[in-house]
A and B are shown apart, each in its own frame.
Chain A
Amino acid sequence: MTQWTLFGMEETKPQLIKITFDGIEVEVAPGTTIMEAARKIAEADESQAALVPPAMCYYKPLPTSGGKCRACLVKVAQGSAKDPRPMPKLIPSCITQVQEGMVVENITNQGVLDTRKSIVEFLLINHPLDCPICDQAGECHLQDFAFEHGSAKTRYEEDRRTFDKIDIGPHIQLHMTRCILCYRCVYTADQITDKRVHGVMNRGDASEISTYIEKAIDNDFSGNVIDVCPVGALTDKTYRFKNRVWFTKPEDAHRDCDKCCGKTTLWYRGDEVIRVTARKNTWGEVNDFICNTCRFEKKKTTDWVLEGPTKVKRSSVISANKYRADLIKKPDFALKLAATQFKPIDDTRDYVTDQETIRHQSIEDNDKANHRSLAAKNN
Chain B
Amino acid sequence: MAKKILTEYINVPGIETFDAYRKQGGYTAAEKALKTMTPDEVVEEAKKSGVRGRGGAGFPMGMKWGFLAKPEGVPRYLVCNADESEPGTFKDHYLMKSIPHLLIEGMIIGSYALGAKKSFIYVRGELMYVIHILEKAIAEATAQGFLGKNILGTGYDLELVVQPGGGAYICGEETALLESLEGKRGNPRNKPPFPAVKGLYQSPTVVNNVESIANMPWIINNGSDAYAAIGIGRSTGTKLISASGHIQKPGVYEIELGVSVEEFLNSDEYCGGVRKGHHLKALVAGGSSVPILPANLIMKTANGEDRLMSYESLSDGGFATGTMLGSGGFIVFDETACIVRNTWNFARFYHHESCGQCSPCREGTGWMEKVLHRIEHGHGSMHDVDLLVDISKKIEGNTICPLGDAAAWPVASAIRHFRDEFIWHITNPYEASQPGAVYQGEMALV
Contact = CB atoms under 8 A, between A and B. Distances in A.
A95 B387 CA distance: 31
B400 interface: yes
In order of increasing CB-CB distance, the 7 nearest A-B pairs are A207-B356, A118-B394, A204-B354, A349-B427, A122-B363, A67-B190, A205-B366
Contacts of B398: 70, 73, 89-90, 115, 118-119
Given A125-B367, A348-B427, A203 B356 contact: yes
Contacts, number: 98
A89 B354 contact: no
A168 interface: no
Given A69-B359, A122-B394, A204 B190 contact: no
Given A122-B360, A207-B355, 9 more contacts: A67-B190, A68-B357, A68-B358, A70-B360, A90-B397, A118-B398, A122-B359, A122-B367, A204-B355
Contacts of B100: none
A204 B400 CA distance: 14
Interface residues of A, number: 39
Contacts of A203: 168, 170, 352-356
B189 to A, nearest CB: 9
Most buried by A among B363, B370, B398: B363
A166 interface: no
Say whether chain A's binding surface is mostly helix, strand, loop, or mixed: loop
Contacts of B341: none
A36 B432 CA distance: 53
B359 A204 contact: no
Contact of B363 (A73, A95, A123): A123
A257 interface: no
B185 interface: yes
Interface residues of B, number: 33
Most buried by B among A70, A126, A204: A204
A95 B359 CA distance: 16
Given A92-B190, A122-B359, A204 B394 contact: no
Most buried by B among A90, A118, A126: A118
A67 B398 CA distance: 11
B400 A68 contact: yes
A126 B366 CA distance: 10
Contacts of B377: none
A319 to B, nearest CB: 26
B354 A205 contact: yes
A200 B366 contact: no
A346 B419 CA distance: 14
A181 B356 contact: yes
B363 A199 contact: no
B364 interface: yes
Contacts of B170: 203
B356 A202 contact: yes
Nearest to A121: B394
B351 interface: yes
Contacts of A350: 427
Given A70-B358, A92-B190, A118-B394, A125 B399 contact: no
Nearest to B398: A70
Contact of A67 (B356, B363, B400): B400
A183 B184 CA distance: 14
A350 B370 CA distance: 25
Interface in A321-379: 345-350
Given A200-B185, A203-B355, A125 B363 contact: yes
Contacts of B352: 203-204
Contact of A89 (B190, B357, B364, B397): B397
B353 A199 contact: no
Nearest to B187: A200
A207 B362 contact: yes
Nearest to A208: B356
Contacts of A202: 356
A349 B423 CA distance: 10
Most buried by B among A125, A202, A203: A203
